[in-house]
Amino acid sequence: MNKSMKKHVAAWSISSILCLMILAGFHARSPSYRDPTFETRGRVANQSKLLFNLTAEEMANNYTTGSQRLPDVAMLSNDTFVVAWVSPQDPGSNDGIYASIFNVTTGHNITSEFRVNTEVNDEQVSPSVVALTENLFVVAWESYFQDGDQTGVYAKLFNSTGNNVTGEFRVNINTPGYQNEPSVAKLTDNKFVVTWSSALGDSDGYGILARIYNGTGSPLTGELPVNDYETSNQRHPSVVGLNGTHFAVTWSSANQDGNNYGVFATVLDDSGANSTDEFQVNTHITGPQEFSEIARLNETSFVITWESDGQDGDGKGVYSRVFNVSGSALSAELPMNNHTINDQVRPKICALANESFLVTWESALQDPLSNSGVYATIFDVEGQNLTREFRVNTNTTDGQGLPAVASLNDTSVVVTWVSFWQDGDQGGVYFQGYEFVDVPPQNVNLVTDAGSPDVDGSFALNWSADGADNFSLYQDDAPITAIDAFSLVYLGLTNDSCTLSRPNGTYYFAVLAINESGSTLSNNVQVEVSIPPAGDNGPNKIPGFNVGILFGILAISGVVLVLFRAKVRKFEDSGSS
């Protein structure tokens, strides 16, 4: 074969090979990375605080005969607090108000248990306590028949050694009927406000009244009407000071929202003038919403919590909502309890650092072997849950309930409650201190729905963490034990999933969970992508080729070869002649 002939053969051979490759659909996918598509489940819950016990569960009362109940608690200093409660140890076994001061570090009492009320005839109940300074606190309560007609509201000031600095004084001016359910709040180091419900406080049924005092127990105002809507009853007030001159009050109002009790609030100045119109707190109005409590977040905002019947799907549940001083809502209704079976009732609230707050409540049948238990959680004003719901009481025998709470500082609280039969006779008052510490994200976990191997190259990654503000996604061709900029895929993700598309290969993924306290790397997820060639969907296959197309190629190649051989013979014949 001459050189010209060899060139023709080579050309035809190359053409045939190219034809085979093209017709067979032999292919290799070029890399084509698709941006992740985020799901719409919102931010991951920012459970960024770890819980530490400052004290073990401690008993507040020394006297254990009968029922010790209805506790309230107030911070005096960063490590001391006062607990007041009802005890049947007045002469004649009448109920009276008793108190003691404790150190949160040791859990031990600094003072002996002391009686708050001077009058011991009949009963004194429903204590409310607040500190003005670390050396001065106020206790208010309701007293039966002391003012000459049913119940009246009384108060007294004490120092940090448990000695009274004033005598007891009557708060209500008008005495007919019932004056009860007192709530007391600090305005300044030398000024406080007391609110209560009065059976003749307005033109129709119970109404809410307030009165302001200085630090020596002298009144600065007369009785101040709080509620504007006067039809039927307004009950269960709770008050908090916002600054030296303004305070906010919340209460339950019967049938004002058209359906049983609803929660309402207002802001007043220290002259009794309204700074806001009366406004409704709850947006869900079916069934009763009542027993609201209030806490100050800063000088311009506060948070209200309450119990709502039927809203969480099973019995009563606890909800909260944040407002500014003009009465405008800064949040929607926020459900507090995760456990919704049976009733969660009688919430109490206190503020913590960075506009966060703790809510505690009584939960029916949630404890093992107990009728009820005390639970709590922490939220921020954006509605992020900063801790998991946790049980406060250690002892779970019989029942624990009716909690109260006070913040000692920005990161620690004391919760007190009643425990039945734990002290040996009916009810006893117990407390426990907690500290909440900001930590890097915990329990960071990454999972995928990719196949093994993944045959289409499209798969989802899902991650979770406790306490993460955002996430970064990393990818490498080997297990990721440390992060670097070269393996970063996406930065600052606030969702909890994404979908990726990758070509054939083996990939390792990890997420870095981040918050203000640090970062934590997740586990590695390995994804192997093995995408079959296009059209390869049957068992009769050779890797990289479609069998039907192969036979077609062979037939075409045969025709090409026959034509080529004929051309060669013709060429040879013409050459020989």
The CATH number given to whatever domain includes residue 521 is 2.60.40.10
Is the domain of 482 the same as that of 514? yes
Is the domain of 427 the same as that of 486? no
Asked if residues 283 and 304 have their Cβ atoms less than 8 Å apart, the reply is no
Q: Is residue 64 part of a domain?
A: no
CA 554 remoteness from chain centre: 69
Quick one: pLDDT at residue 517? 83
Q: Compute the average pLDDT of residues 140-147.
A: 97
CA distance 69 to 88: 10
Q: Compute the average pLDDT of residues 258-279.
A: 96
- 442 pLDDT band (50/70/90 cuts)? confident
Per-residue model confidence as pLDDT tens digits over 65-90: 999 999 999 999 999 999 999 999 98
C-alpha torsion sign, points 140, 143, 147, 149: positive
Q: Compute the average pLDDT of residues 435-445.
A: 87
Asked if residues 429 and 406 have their Cβ atoms less than 8 Å apart, the reply is no
Strand residues in 365-481 grouped as ranges (E): 370-380, 390-391, 398-407, 412-420, 427-438, 442-448, 458-466, 470-476
Residue numbers of the domain that contains 20:
3-26+547-576
Q: How many residues does the chain have?
A: 577
For residue 479, what are the CA distances in angstroms to 450, 463, 483, 492, 507?
17, 17, 11, 22, 9
Q: Is residue 352 part of a domain?
A: yes
Q: Compute the average pLDDT of residues 160-180.
A: 97
User: Is the preceding omega at residue 453 within 30 degrees of 0, hence cis?
Assistant: yes
Neighbours of 570 (CB within 10 A): 10
Of the three residues 438, 472, 490, the one that is the final residue of a domain is 438
For residue 505, what are the CA distances in angstroms to 456, 488, 511?
12, 18, 20
Q: Phi and psi of 380, rounded to 5°? A: -105, 175
Q: Is residue 48 part of a domain?
A: no
Name every residue whose Cβ is closer than 8 Å to that of residue 199 and which is 6 or more positions away in sequence. 150, 176, 177, 178, 179, 205, 206
- 570 pLDDT band (50/70/90 cuts)? low
Q: Residue 66: left if φ>0, alpha if ψ -120 to 50, beta else—which one?
A: left
Asked if residues 260 and 251 have their Cβ atoms less than 8 Å apart, the reply is no
Of the three residues 417, 438, 459, the one that is the final residue of a domain is 438
User: Above 70 in pLDDT, residue 26?
Assistant: no
Of the three residues 400, 420, 438, the one that is the final residue of a domain is 438
Is the domain of 431 the same as that of 346? yes
Per-residue model confidence as pLDDT tens digits over 309-355: 999 999 999 999 999 999 999 999 999 999 999 999 999 999 998 89
User: Above 50 in pLDDT, residue 402?
Assistant: yes
- 34 pLDDT band (50/70/90 cuts)? very low
CA atoms within a 13 Å half-sphere pointing along the CA-CB vector of 352 = 23
User: Above 70 in pLDDT, residue 502?
Assistant: yes
Quick one: pLDDT at residue 120? 95
Instruction: Provide the 8-state DSSP code for 486.
Output: G
528 sits in which H/E element: strand 525-529
User: Above 60 in pLDDT, residue 4?
Assistant: no
Strand residues in 244-341 grouped as ranges (E): 246-254, 261-269, 279-280, 289-298, 301-309, 316-324, 334-335
Asked if residues 521 and 483 have their Cβ atoms less than 8 Å apart, the reply is yes
Quick one: pLDDT at residue 462? 97
Strands of the sheet with 458-466, listed across from one edge:
442-448, 458-466, 497-501
Is the domain of 522 the same as that of 553? no
Is the domain of 447 the same as that of 434? no
Is the domain of 391 the same as that of 474? no
Tokens of 558: 């045969």
177 sits in which H/E element: none
pLDDT greater at residue 10 or residue 174? 174
Q: Pairing state of beta strands 246-254 and 370-380?
A: unpaired
Tokens of 111: 């003072």
- 515 pLDDT band (50/70/90 cuts)? confident
**Closest listed residue to residue 96, CA positions, set 121, 75, 123, 72:** 123
User: Above 90 in pLDDT, residue 20?
Assistant: no
CA distance 45 to 465: 8
For residue 18, what are the CA distances in angstroms to 11, 15, 480?
11, 5, 42
Asked if residues 208 and 232 have their Cβ atoms less than 8 Å apart, the reply is no
Q: Compute the average pLDDT of residues 408-433.
A: 95
Is the domain of 459 the same as that of 415? no
- 557 pLDDT band (50/70/90 cuts)? low
CA distance 520 to 515: 9
Quick one: pLDDT at residue 40? 23
**Where does residue 89 rank: exposed (0-12), middle (13-18), buried (19+ CB within 10 A)?**
buried
Q: Is residue 32 part of a domain?
A: no
- 37 pLDDT band (50/70/90 cuts)? very low
Q: Compute the average pLDDT of residues 22-26.
A: 37
Q: Is residue 497 part of a domain?
A: yes
Is the domain of 427 the same as that of 381? yes
Q: Is residue 277 part of a domain?
A: no
- Considering the chain, what percentage of its residues have pLDDT values greater than 70? 84
Is the pTM of the predicted complex or chain greater than 0.95?
no
Is the domain of 455 the same as that of 516? yes
CA distance 148 to 446: 69
Instruction: Provide the 8-state DSSP code for 3.
Output: H
Quick one: pLDDT at residue 422? 95
Quick one: pLDDT at residue 549? 54
Q: Is residue 166 part of a domain?
A: no
Is the domain of 389 the same as that of 376? yes
Please give the tally of structural domains in the chain. 3
User: Above 70 in pLDDT, residue 577?
Assistant: no
Average the pLDDT over each of 363-372, 385-394, 535-544 and give the range with the smallest value.
535-544
Is the domain of 455 the same as that of 524? yes
Q: Is residue 272 part of a domain?
A: no
First to last CA, the chain: 16
User: Above 60 in pLDDT, residue 242?
Assistant: yes
Is the domain of 430 the same as that of 481? no
